[in-house]
Amino acid sequence: DAGVIQSPRHEVTEMGQEVTLRCKPISGHDYLFWYRQTMMRGLELLIYFNNNVPIDDSGMPEDRFSAKMPNASFSTLKIQPSEPRDSAVYFCASSLGHNNEQFFGPGTRLTVL
Amino acid sequence: KQEVTQIPAALSVPEGENLVLNCSFTDSAIYNLQWFRQDPGKGLTSLLLIQSSQREQTSGRLNASLDKSSGRSTLYIAASQPGDSATYLCAVRLLSGNTGKLIFGQGTTLQVKP
């Protein structure tokens, strides 16, 4: 298996633009997680899904952030409108069962100017 | 509220040295604890997962221990190599509530000098 796949790897955009990050989990995994990593706050869970259904979105910072999982092999995290403080590395992870190892993708480095 | 702390934030050792990385957590009601490695500009690689009922787990030169009652875990690296240089993160999974959620420490950045 190729592991968790994320795209794009790097994204530079201007304030106010819409940003869409994409994730393909490991085939067969039923849990998908979106994290954000910054120097100041470390790794924070934004939202996670079980069988394509959002379970906990309490980490989503504000209404500008939204996430979807239309099927078992694809998820998106959207920021609209983007702001400079959204600049971070966004990771997607997946696992088989909620108590088992989480496997992380390579991340998307987002820069909002 | 569960908080995870890793001390020290950075560590530099000569090659060949055995070393210990520390992780502490405030609430002992955890399901399990996972250690990760992160290389610069890369994602996280899972190293070891310790269930709350376990005391330790081993993989090659790595040994992770868990003392749930005292809220501590250690990652022992034997005979360190320059290739071990990376940031090491620990994360705990809560026992109740949304148990899919991992709470991460800030990490220890390790440099192993040749």
Q: Which of B44, B89, B100 sits opposite A31 (nearest CB)?
A: B100
List pLDDT tens digits, range A35-54: 999 988 899 999 999 999 99
Chain B residues near residue A57 by CB distance under 8 angstroms: none
Interface probe, candidates A33, A50, A101, chain B, greatest B C-beta count within 10 A = A101
Spatial contact of A98 and A50, defined as CB atoms under 8 Å apart: yes
- For B86-107, what is each residue's pLDDT tens digit? 999 999 988 766 666 789 999 9
Give B27-80 pLDDT, tens digit per residue: 888 889 999 999 988 889 999 999 999 999 999 999 999 999 999 999 999 999
CB pairs under 8 A between A and B: 54
Single-letter amino acid, residue A88: A
- State how far the Cα of A110 lies from the Cα of A10, in Å rounded to an integer: 6
Nearest-by-Cβ selection for B106 from A42, A101, A104? A42
| Residue A53, H or E segment | strand A53-56
DSSP B2-70: --EEEE-SEEEEETT--EEEEEEES---EEEEEEEEE-TTS-EEEEEEEETT-SEEEETTEEEEEETTT
pLDDT at B97: 65
